[in-house]
Amino acid sequence: MQSRAGWPVWLSIAAGAVMFVHLYLAFVWSPPEQHMGNLVRIMYFHVPSAWNAFFAFFVTFVCAILYLRRRRLVYDLVSAASAEIGVLFTSITLVTGSLWARPIWNTWWTWDPRLTTTLILWFLYAGYFLLRASIDGRERRARVSAVFAIVAFADVPVIHMSVEWWRSIHPLAVDETGFNMPGSMAATLMFGFVAFMCLYGLFLALRVRQQRQAMELHELREAVRAARVRQEGQV
Amino acid sequence: MLNDMGFLWAVTAVVWLGMLAYAVVLMRRQRRLQQELESLRRALDQFNPPSR
């Protein structure tokens, strides 16, 4: 029992430590850029949060397909938990992007294809949760939201390709030739991705556990209700 | 008006506070779930006392 209560604490400490190392790499170890100066360090937060959001929605997409194929509720739980974390990372991506755009592009927001499609992604998954909240019945909710999650994921490749399909002012950190930056900056960026991935893993594990407990809670409520009815029948 | 470092600190604050706020929300949800589970288990035990 003690070990079960302890793993979130140890995982949180490990994720926190990795985040502090990331902070050191982003602020101290990596060099400033020639044109942007220290503002380039925003990239180490903005880009990993965007990549993690896409990864979280990919997990949602895969689990939605698995649910529709196998009809096991655990896939629905993981799918919803991952989507929630994806919305968190997308929110961080949008806010940090805006804070980066202001000094570089002299505007908080512009209707650039990549920005617009990312905002659409945020609305799509906010809609996913509204949809889940509006449907009664565990199986029906899981089925409908799985279909929605699969369709909503179509926006992720559109975001990726948007800078090539339309005229965009959004820079490309990584293209087919690799990283467009020195090795130390690329290493910090990749470490940022790993650090944010640790947080994603921690949040996902906690959220899935909570979803399982919520199911157990529902079953216990039903059992108490049934026991109460049985007792009243005996009196 | 924020200078360059001001924007950088603002981004860092958004990321860290965002993550911490979500962690706090998760912990509060966990505590509430745990309390509800325990009270329901106790209620169920009253209906079905453990046999010796």
> Which tens digits make up the pLDDT trace of A176-205?
777 778 788 889 999 999 999 999 999 999
Quick one: pLDDT band at residue A7, thresholds 50, 70, 90?
Answer: confident
Mean pLDDT, chain A, as a whole number?
A: 89
Taking the CA of residue A67 and the nearest CA in chain B, the distance in Å comes to 25
pTM of the model: 0.88
Tokens of A176: 């087919």
Residue B2 predicted with pLDDT over 60 = no
Mark yes or no for CB contact B41/A220 under 8 Å: yes
Residue B1 predicted with pLDDT over 50 = no
pLDDT value for A171: 74
Residues A35-63: what's their mean pLDDT? 93
**Who has greater pLDDT, A126 or A172?**
A126
Mark yes or no for CB contact A39/B44 under 8 Å: no
Note the residue count of chain A.
235
> Which tens digits make up the pLDDT trace of B14-32?
999 999 999 999 989 989 9
3-state secondary structure string across A160-203 = HHHHHHCCCCCCCCEECCEECCCHHHHHHHHHHHHHHHHHHHHH
A contacts of B10 (beta carbons < 8 Å): 99
Which residues in chain B (13-52) have CB-CB distances under 8 A to chain A?
A: 14-16, 18-19, 22-23, 26, 29-30, 33-34, 36-37, 40-41, 43-44, 47-48
Taking the CA of residue A69 and the nearest CA in chain B, the distance in Å comes to 30
Quick one: pLDDT band at residue A1, thresholds 50, 70, 90?
Answer: very low
When CB atoms are compared, the residue of A207, A210, A227 closest to B48 is A227
Structural domains of chain A, with CATH? 18-234 (1.20.120)
A contacts of B14 (beta carbons < 8 Å): 92, 95-96, 99
Alpha-carbon distances of A222 from A174, A215, A226, B40, B41, rounded to whole Å: 52, 11, 6, 10, 12
- Residue pair B28/A61 in contact by the 8 Å Cβ criterion: no
